[in-house]
Structure 1
Amino acid sequence: MSRLISNQLSELGRLQWAQDACEELRLKPTGPIATENAWLRIKDVRTLKGRARWLAQSVAEWRELRAMALDIPPRHVLSDIAILGIAQKAPRTVEDLAKSRGVDQRHLHGAHGTALLEAVRKGLAASQQGELSFPATDNDDVDKSMKAAVTLVSAWISELARQTSLDSGLLATRRDIVELLLELPHARLSQGWRADIVGRDIEDLISGRKGLTFKKSDHERGLRLVDIPHMA
């Protein structure tokens, strides 16, 4: 199987890309996550305000620790929807817990229900500290004049990933784009196979040497990178 995959990658001219990507994964630091930050991975968590954020953080941390103890995915312990529902409802009793969105019967009784309500109480107590802010995002580090460039480049990368049958997240993440725009020396898009396939084109796009157009025809449609002629 390894030889077959290697041969296919060689035929596509992507063997070195795959080897470099595997090496990145091999060198990537591993270890336990910070359980107090588990809430940040919940979909739609940024819609929460005030004390609901503290409750989401506390319940998500309990879920993470419980999942680690049972060696199962966190969502098998409690769904994201249930965490959001509990955070918004702030239940004090089992009856209140039962009325929270996403909570089913298995969450209500015994040690499970008791632990959930304790996590809620912990979150309510923590909320007395004041507002719980979200950490700064990658885009916060970019000058306002460049935020449109991040959006534009993201659109181009999505199109390029489609054209080349590559996963857009493997090709370039938002962090990768920001680091390239900030001209950081360790930017992944400025070196290796990513620089060859997308990094240098992005630099040309931002510098004005290239531009994006939308091509629509019977045989092809989508964004296209084109050279911009220099005016004399």
Structure 2
Amino acid sequence: MDPTPPQRRAAPVRGLRRRTLARPASSAGRRARSPGPPRLGGGGVPDHALPPQPACAVAQTVGAWRERRAAATDRPARFVLPDLAVVAIAQRPPTTVDELAGVRGLDGRRAKVAAEAGLLDAVRAGLELGDGALRQPPSDQIERRLRPVATLAGAWLAQRATELRIDGPLLATRADLHALLRDSAESRLANGWRRTLVGEPLRQLLAGEGALAVGGHGELVLEARSHRRIAG
């Protein structure tokens, strides 16, 4: 049996721990923790100093091209060009079909079709866009008093899209609905087949000529208003 008391056996360990913790960090350790040189952007300018205008300008012209293309082909904008691809193009504007094919969210065939439809022209237009032509997207906000109406109308639109077997954003986006609530003639719900299917019924609802009711199976029913209050 070892006659040495436990306290004396543990003492060297505690002393070693104290010496280890008190030892100054090596110069190599200090260098590893020191911040590196700033990342450089184009022309040797630090990233944080690069102006955002070029990327915003390309995003603006590419986004406008996408909206025109979606309207011309009657498809949701995200099917024409995914949001991820718009951001990637704005950050690293491609100038050739091969570079466009390398954009995340696009394959070779879609890139060729998009290029033939004018996407690369839209990129070039963004790169040449002056600061004065850069604009913020219009707000689709509506008055506070119309927000409950927007919620109910949005639920009915989602139900109609399911009934008609149409992709929801293709039938109507939130911006489309808000534009209709603001009585904007530019709303897609005020024109064409969308007006017939959902725009005109919604207009009657907003004019006080229609009412939303709950049907026997829990569905929303847009019907003629009886003008008979049951509460309030």
TM-score (norm 2): 0.42
TM-score (norm 1): 0.42
Q: Which has the larger radius of gyration?
A: 2
